[in-house]
Structure 1
Amino acid sequence: MEIRGVKKKINQIKKDKILYLLIAPTLVYFFIFRLWPILNMKLAFYDYKAVGPWKFVGLKYFNLIFKSPSIKIILTNTLIISFMKYVLLFPFVVLFAILLAEIKSTFFRKYVQIVSFLPHFLSWVVIAGIWISFLSPSSGAVNQILGIFNIPSVSFMTNKDTIRWVLLFSEAWRSIGWDSIIYYAAIISISPSIYEAATIDGANRFSIIKYIIIPALVVPMVTMFILNLGFFLNAGFDQVLNFTNDAVNSKIDILDTYIYRIGLINGQYSLGTAVGVIKGIVGVVLVLFTHLGSKKLTGKGVW
């Protein structure tokens, strides 16, 4: 029976070979860039050598990280930027989905969707170029508007007080439309009969949003918030790398750029891997504790 079952599965695979070929590039990608790095996290506990066996050094590189005078600044930058992106921006994503669902004109709603989704498909190289031009102190649109009101121009990209807000607004411009899809889908899945019953009972739009739409968004909101916490220490490597410069690097230098600098540029692979391991552990712990807290408070979590 077991042999017959195996043969049946093999025949099924042969029958669906085109589908397996289509998914093969994705599987190869995840194996090379997701699974293989996990298997090689042991590098954090060894002295890397291009030739010859690696020497086990225990927690040597973890001690170096925590003794480094710059790690406190880098960790602070990472936490602040991540908080701005994953916590401050989160309610506006939900609000955008609600406002999108409130648009009655189908043509205008589709137009808003296209305009808000499009930036998600642009690379951070392109987005950085757009925002650098947009915020230019000499020819940027923002400073031209400030000039109309006789306000001195501001070099947003080289100002330590504004650069983090530039990261936040550029992230919002790129992702707020795309990230709202899951909430918009939850809203349009609400049965029309519920709206009809609420209207008959005399509920206005604000009451409908408060007592029907928002409760329907609780589950996806909790799920997405918990999952986002797993990436809390990422803070956006591509974005920061393209927006940084010597004038503001001390304010937006994050763990990912630190790993890139010490690992790839300076060739300290073991030290860079150790920082990555710490990031991974913190991410798992945040997801676990947030999930357990959510289950206790609301009865709902990721699993």
Structure 2
Amino acid sequence: MQLVEQRKNKYCISKKIKMKLSNIMKIIIKYKFFHILAIPGIIYFILFHYVPILGLVIAFKDYSGLGGIQGIIDAPWVGLEHFKNLFTSPSFWKLLRNTLLISTYRLIWGFPAPIIFALMLNEVRNRRFKKIAQTISYMPHFLSWVIVSGLAIMLLSPSSGPLVPLFNALGVKPINFLGDKSYFRSVLVVSSIWKDLGWGTIIYLAAITGIPQEQYEVATIEGATRFQKIRYVTLPSIKFVITIMFILRVGKIINENFEQIFNMYSPVVYEVSDVFETYIYRRGILQADFSFTTAVGLFKSVVSLILVVISNKIVKLLGEEGIW
């Protein structure tokens, strides 16, 4: 009797699996053109995000950088030695402090900026002005950090920058913003917001566009002001998008913008600007210490994963939908 029951259960499970596979194949065939369009993106992630994961074994070996793949295989195993060296290094706490501070400043000031700008643009009724404002705000995103950093260095130069006459007129000594520890982080945050403001706005404007106009019409009939429409209609409707973007942004806290800092900082401000990525560049590329810097990179990735999981859990506890 038990044997018959087991066979019946196996048959039911097998039938369910076949039905699920059949449904998946129907969906793939139905949306085949969308899946074909997704193939290049899938290949990109496989080649540049999943295949390199195999190289993480370097973090547990003493790899010299010679011999390619065979050199990695033959390299002696050292276990967690590189991680111990990282956590006991005098630079570790400085790097962690700088990374968290700069990222937190960017999160506090930079995350709400595109939301506010999108809400402002949505309230503009003049289409021509709206398009011009959007175009101007998007343009900096397409400039590399090399160009943006060059512009910042020229504008903030304490000897020949356009701000020098203003300081002289006020009777104040020109400030070296990029060479002063008190101002450097602020320059990083402001320039980052200026560069990415317009591009981040696209996502929120797209979400706002999807809000049914009937909701605004009902609010108008009820006598709601523009501010009240934003508070009770627009923001609740794009809350899900804001939540998802916040979770993703929190996951990047430990990953600083290497291109920006590398092109702006100098040894004078290392104490307040040196982060994990710039440290990896100097130690890994310039000093060829590949195993140690791979361990640093793995540590960053693990912390990022933990932050995403925690932030997603907190968001769900608050009653919102998370990433999963």
Same fold per TM (> 0.5)?
yes
Match in the other structure for 2:249: 228
Counterparts in 2 of 1:217-296, with a 5 A limit?
A: 217-296=238-317
2:231 counterpart SS class: helix
The count of aligned residue pairs is 290
Q: CA contact under 8 A between 1:85 and 1:235: conserved in structure 2? A: no
- Partners of 2:204 and 2:241 within 8 A in 1: yes
Quick one: distance in 1 between partners of 2:189 and 2:274? 15
2:63 aligned to 15, 31, 48, which one?
Answer: 48
TM score, norm. by length of structure 1: 0.90
For residues 147 and 36 of structure 1, the distance between their equivalents in structure 2, rounded to whole angstroms, comes to: 57
Q: Does the residue aligned with 2:168 lie in a helix, a strand or coil?
A: helix
2:99 aligned with 1:99, yes or no? no
**Equivalent residue in structure 1 for 2:51, among 29, 36, 39:** 36
Q: Deviation at 1:207? A: 0.8
Of the structure 1 ranges 89-98 and 265-274, higher mean CA displacement relative to structure 2 is found in 89-98
Q: Quote the Cα distance in structure 1 between the aligned partners of 2:164 and 2:212.
A: 47
Q: CA deviation at 1:141?
A: 2.4
Moved more, 88-97 or 173-182: 88-97
In structure 1, the partner of 2:7 is: none
SS in 2 for 1:232: coil
SS in structure 2 of the partner of residue 47 of structure 1: coil
Percent of aligned positions that are identical: 38
Asked whether the equivalents of residues 234 and 256 of structure 1 are also in contact (C-alpha less than 8 Å), the reply is yes
Superposition deviation, residue 33 in structure 1: 2.9
Q: What displacement does 1:90 show?
A: 1.0
For 2:85, the aligned partner's letter is L
Tell me the C-alpha RMSD between the 2 structures.
2.2
Q: 1:42 Cα deviation (Å)?
A: 1.1
1:208 aligns with 2:229: yes
In structure 2, runs of 5+ residues without a counterpart are 1-21
Alignment pair present for 1:188 and 2:209: yes
Is contact 2:240–2:320 with CA below 8 Å preserved after alignment? no
Partner of 1:179: 200
Structure 1 residue ranges without an equivalent (≥5): none
Aligned residue number for residue 321 of structure 2: 300
Tell me the TM-score normalised to structure 2 length: 0.84
2:107 pairs with 1:86:
yes
- Give the drift of 1:190: 1.4
Larger radius of gyration: 2
CA deviation after TM superposition for structure 1 residue 187, in Å: 1.4
Residue 217 (structure 1) shift: 2.1
Equivalent residue of 1:154, what SS? coil
For the 8 Å contact 2:63–2:291, the answer to whether it is kept is yes
Give, as a single letter, the amino acid of the residue that structure 2 aligns with 1:37.
Answer: P
Query: Aligned letter for 2:125?
Result: K
Equivalent-residue separation in structure 2 for 1:194 and 1:227 (angstroms)? 29
